[in-house]
């Protein structure tokens, strides 16, 4: 909070700025695979929970239904999701391979960012996120 009093410090503005910076790093990491960080996240989640329903996934990840529908459509259009969405979300063979590559990328970058931030910052971020999400989800 350099040169800002506690009262003038905008938490929302700072969080939005940090979100843009961190999300940009993750998006850049997935460029080689032709997906965004959000799409890679969906692929990895569907890989971990085959058959999950779109509405349930949207609720778990706190993603608006319209954004979820758009990303699911793009993943389906690229041949990474099956075309029978009534039975839940399932990866195709190519989608499964992509999800595995995305997980390797995510794991490496996530570890790098954790190292850069350090345990104190990660601990504080976890406490903050848990407090905010607990109020939202209950």
- The 10s digit of each residue's pLDDT in 37-59 is 999 999 999 999 999 999 999 99
pLDDT at 120: 95
DSSP letter (8 states) at residue 32: G
* Separation of alpha carbons 124 and 54, rounded Å: 32
pLDDT at 4: 59
Mean pLDDT of 62-69: 91
Q: Is the pLDDT of residue 17 over 60?
A: yes
The pLDDT tens digits for 83-103 are 776 889 999 999 999 999 999
Mean pLDDT of 18-35: 96
Contacts of residue 63, Cβ cutoff 8 Å, sequence gap at least 6: 38, 57
Mean pLDDT of 18-26: 95
Calculate ∠ Cα 88-94-97, nearest 5°. Answer: 100
Give the residue among 22, 5, 14, 17 at the shortest CA–CA distance from 114: 22
Q: What is the signed CA dihedral for 73, 79, 83, 88, rounded to 10 degrees?
A: -80
* Separation of alpha carbons 52 and 81, rounded Å: 12
* Separation of alpha carbons 73 and 80, rounded Å: 10
pLDDT at 137: 74
pTM over 0.95: no
Please, what is the average pLDDT of the chain? Answer: 91
């Amino acid at each position: 909070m350099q040169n800002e009093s506690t009262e003038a410090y905008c938490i929302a503005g700072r969080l939005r700025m940090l979100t843009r910076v961190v999300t940009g790093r993750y998006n850049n990491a997935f460029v080689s695979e032709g997906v965004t960080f959000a799409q890679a996240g969906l692929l990895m989640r569907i890989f971990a929970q085959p058959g999950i329903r779109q509405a349930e996934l949207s609720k778990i990840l706190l993603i608006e239904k319209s954004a979820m529908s758009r990303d699911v459509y793009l993943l389906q259009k690229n041949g990474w999701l099956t075309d029978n969405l009534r039975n839940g979300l399932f990866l195709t063979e190519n989608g499964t391979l992509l999800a595995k590559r995305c997980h390797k990328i995510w794991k490496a970058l996530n570890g790098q960012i954790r190292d850069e931030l350090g345990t104190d910052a990660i601990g504080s971020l976890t406490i903050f996120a848990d407090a905010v999400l607990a109020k939202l989800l209950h």
